[in-house]
């Protein structure tokens, strides 16, 4: 099992591996972009909205692939311990939030894929190829998956907001150094 790198200039001690750090930021920024594509283009003209949704779907499938890669990486690379200054309730909250993130990072794109499949469509992957449908055409299933996908998306939005606020609290208020574990620079 690989060990985590230590950054001598950090007050947080051990850091995540560079691969884990870059996957974190790639996935995180992709999720934020995808939420923006879904929400900010809602009231725009049909052509603009449909073009944005094409990118949204392809990016969602990219997020799914990156998440699988991140989980596989994580299985072989232990997370660095939290600083001793982190309260027990925050440690517990961190575990719950991370579990929910991983669940949503898998369920959200899968629900979109099932939705599009049940609607009788594959997913165009940035014009390179089409990801095939995984179910047959089924309007009732498509309607249910549409609702579930939107609910999961709103849950992801709330979780991202909580995560960002917690990171800002650790950085600006607590000055715990915990953020240095995931700093890519």
Domain boundaries, the chain: 18-182
Label residue 98 by pLDDT band (50, 70, 90).
Answer: very high
- Across 99-103, average pLDDT: 97
Cα–Cα distance between 81 and 117 in angstroms, integer?
A: 41
The dihedral over CA atoms of 19, 168, 97, 68, expressed in degrees to the nearest 10, equals: -20
pLDDT digits (tens, 9 = 90+) for 55-92: 999 999 999 999 999 999 999 999 999 888 889 999 99
pLDDT value of position 54: 97
Whether pTM > 0.95 for this model: the answer is no
CATH code for the part of the protein at 18-182 = 1.20.950
Cα–Cα distance between 83 and 66 in angstroms, integer?
A: 27
pLDDT value of position 13: 67
Label residue 4 by pLDDT band (50, 70, 90).
Answer: very low
pLDDT digits (tens, 9 = 90+) for 6-28: 333 344 468 999 999 999 999 99
Q: Could you tell me which residues come within 8 angstroms of residue 126 by beta carbon, excluding any fewer than 6 positions away? A: 55, 58
Q: How many residues are recorded in the chain?
A: 185
pLDDT value of position 85: 86
pLDDT over threshold 90, residue 109: yes
Cα–Cα distance between 105 and 17 in angstroms, integer?
A: 20
Cα–Cα distance between 41 and 27 in angstroms, integer?
A: 21
The dihedral over CA atoms of 154, 159, 164, 169, expressed in degrees to the nearest 10, equals: 130
Label residue 93 by pLDDT band (50, 70, 90).
Answer: very high
- Across 22-43, average pLDDT: 95
Distances in Å between the Cα of 160 and the Cα atoms of 20, 28, 115, 164 are: 18, 8, 23, 6
């Amino acid at each position: 099992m690989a060990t985590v790198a230590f950054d001598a200039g950090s007050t947080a001690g051990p850091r995540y591996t560079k691969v884990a750090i870059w996957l974190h930021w790639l996935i995180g920024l992709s999720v934020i972009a995808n939420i923006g594509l879904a929400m900010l283009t809602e009231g725009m003209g049909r052509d603009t909205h449909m073009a944005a949704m094409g990118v949204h779907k392809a990016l969602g499938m990219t997020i799914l692939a990156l998440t699988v890669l991140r989980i596989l990486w994580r299985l072989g690379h232990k997370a660095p311990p939290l600083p001793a200054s982190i309260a027990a309730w925050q440690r517990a909250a961190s575990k719950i939030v991370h579990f929910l993130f991983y669940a949503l990072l898998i369920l959200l794109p899968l629900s979109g894929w099932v939705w599009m499949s049940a609607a009788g469509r594959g997913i165009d992957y940035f014009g390179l190829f089409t990801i095939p449908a995984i179910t047959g055409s089924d309007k009732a299933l498509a309607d249910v998956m549409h609702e579930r996908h939107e609910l999961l998306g709103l849950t992801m939005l709330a979780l991202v907001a909580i995560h960002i606020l917690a990171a800002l609290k650790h950085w600006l208020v607590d000055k715990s150094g915990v953020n240095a574990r995931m700093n890519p620079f």
